[in-house]
Amino acid sequence: MGINVQFRPMTIHDIDEVVRVEQASFTAPWSRESFYNELMYNRYAKYIVMVYNGRIIGYGGMWLVIDEAHVTNVAVLPQFRGQKLGEALMRCLMDMARQRGAATMTLEVRVSNHVAQSLYRKLGFRNGGIRKRYYPDNFEDALVMWVKLI
């Protein structure tokens, strides 16, 4: 990692900056209300932000249910990509899930997103199946990937 970043839990005060990262990263971004509801009402949700020079440049989230972690979102601002920050963010989520008792972690990734798939494979994720027409913006299929954490 070329730059010094910090990770910390996401709060409702971070939502506007997180939405900016989300909008810069995805064609079907989550709304401000979605993040608010995750933080305020979803007891299974755990979100972290990645901060550089006082600014949120990435974030990640997951749901922790019993012994399974389901990654909901991972994003890094485009201008900060290619510096292994996504890997650092995923490793942080994986460590957090392990510490909270998760034995496995799963996620969905677009079948066309080979860069992300490569990162996930580097972290030990394996293909688990396909969710047909998963993404609402263009009905692209999602590749479901799994990793054992313990």
User: For 12-32, how does the pLDDT look when each residue is reduced to its tens digit (9 = 90+)?
Assistant: 999 999 999 999 999 889 999
Phi, psi at 137, each rounded to 5°:
-75, -35
DSSP one-letter string for 81-133: TTSSHHHHHHHHHHHHHHHTT-SEEEEEEETT-HHHHHHHHHTT-EEEEEETT
User: In sequence order, what are the residues at sequence separation of 6 or more whose Cβ sits closer than 8 angstroms to the Cβ of residue 95?
Assistant: none
What is the pLDDT confidence band of residue 1, given thresholds at 50, 70 and 90?
A: low
Asked whether 130 and 143 are in contact (CB, 8 A), the reply is: yes
Q: What is the CATH number of domain 4-146?
A: 3.40.630.30
What are the residue numbers of the active site? 108, 120
What percentage of the chain reaches a pLDDT higher than 70? 99
Give the position of tokens 């954490």.
149
Q: Which residues pair with 126 in a beta bridge?
A: 146
Give, as one character, the DSSP assignment of residue 30.
P
Q: Average pLDDT for residues 65-83, to the nearest whole number? A: 97
Confidence band, pLDDT 50/70/90 cuts, at residue 106: very high
